[in-house]
Structure 1
Amino acid sequence: MDQIYIKAQRIRTIQEKQQQMIEDDIVGEFKGMINYAVIGLIQLELPPDASWDVPEEEVKAFYEKHIAETKQLMQNKNHDYGEAWRSMSQEGLTDLILMKLFRIRQILHNDGKTIVSEGIDANYHDIINYSVFALILDSEAGK
């Protein structure tokens, strides 16, 4: 989660300052957040005592499973909400990602318990989808 926060905060800073000092572009940071969020989903699925030495084929299967679940969630939400995200700015999507990270932090401080809200996994799914939306907006702006 901390790596996602670092990337989101860097994006937010660049957006606010309208300038960057390091060559790495924002697109790469959004892609990184997608990958770190999938890693977070995989970690939630593995038992606490699982080895860090997971075979490549198993990691690939986990990754594809979580991307497929997240894509299905996006399609379901787009059905219900329309493509409301298209009227948002990339800055607004970054703000939503930061809010989801703060929510994950709250859940972790509460030992993973929630009363009404969705769990950590739902927040990771949203981070992935908001990052994808930001990448789509970026690619459409570049046309």
Structure 2
Amino acid sequence: MANTSQQYDSVIETCRTLFINKTKDYGSAWRILRLPSLTDQIFIKAQRIRGLQENKERKVDEGEVSEFIGIINYSIMALIQLDRGVVEQPDLNADQSLKLYNEKVAVTKQLMQDKNHDYGEAWRDMRVSSLTDLILQKLLRVKQIEDNKGKTIVSEGIDANYQDMINYAVFALIHLNE
């Protein structure tokens, strides 16, 4: 499990660096995005990954890695939005954004470690395409929960689905780096 933890941290560091650099370029403009907008951004990225996995020809020279990084960062933004709500104007400086980012990563990594313990690292035997499909399934669930105004009867909430998408995307990036 120590190896998984280190690999997880390495993937997140790449994602965090991009988040920090984009925050320097754009500030916290993402704070105006409503949850369905973030969900749609993640959905577009997951659909593109699936397309890349299925199509032989590629017209844009960006691969799966950048899209999985986008899924992770947009999912973390969504978790922050769930807690803080949407604003009309950007309201976080770079340090505040990074602090919230790191808090969401810590909780999500702990969830991964707990599930990884119980499942015995089953993800290591999964294909990247299966992880992509699971992300798409989670997105469809989130869209349905959003359509239901956040209400569920017996299912976990939106936050758990975003956390699972982060963890599946991290696993996919670990596989792609091996």
Q: Specify the TM-score bucket, using the shorter chain as the normaliser.
A: over 0.9
Q: Which amino acid aligns with 1:89?
A: R
Structure 1 distance, partners of 2:146, 2:125, is 32
Structure 1 distance, partners of 2:45, 2:56, is 16
Show the counterpart of 1:112: 150
Give 5+ residue unaligned stretches, structure 2. Answer: 1-38
Show the counterpart of 2:58: 20
Show the counterpart of 1:122: 160
Give 5+ residue unaligned stretches, structure 1. Answer: none
Show the counterpart of 1:82: 120
Give the superposition deviation at 1:17.
1.1
1:52 aligns with 2:90: yes
Runs (4+) of structure 1 exceeding 2 A deviation are: 47-53
SS at match of 1:20: coil
SS at match of 1:24: coil
For these two proteins, the number of residue pairs brought into alignment is: 140
Structure 1 distance, partners of 2:126, 2:89, is 41
Deviations 1:31-61 (A, max 9, x none): 1110000000000011345743212211111
Q: Given the two structures, how large is their TM-score scaled by the length of structure 1?
A: 0.94
Residues 49, 29 of structure 1: CA spacing in aligned structure 2 closer, same or farther, 3 A cutoff?
Answer: closer
Structure 2 distance, partners of 1:31, 1:37, is 10
SS at match of 2:151: coil
Percent pairwise identity: 56
Structure 2 distance, partners of 1:49, 1:115, is 29
Q: Which amino acid aligns with 1:114?
A: T
Q: Which amino acid aligns with 1:64?
A: N
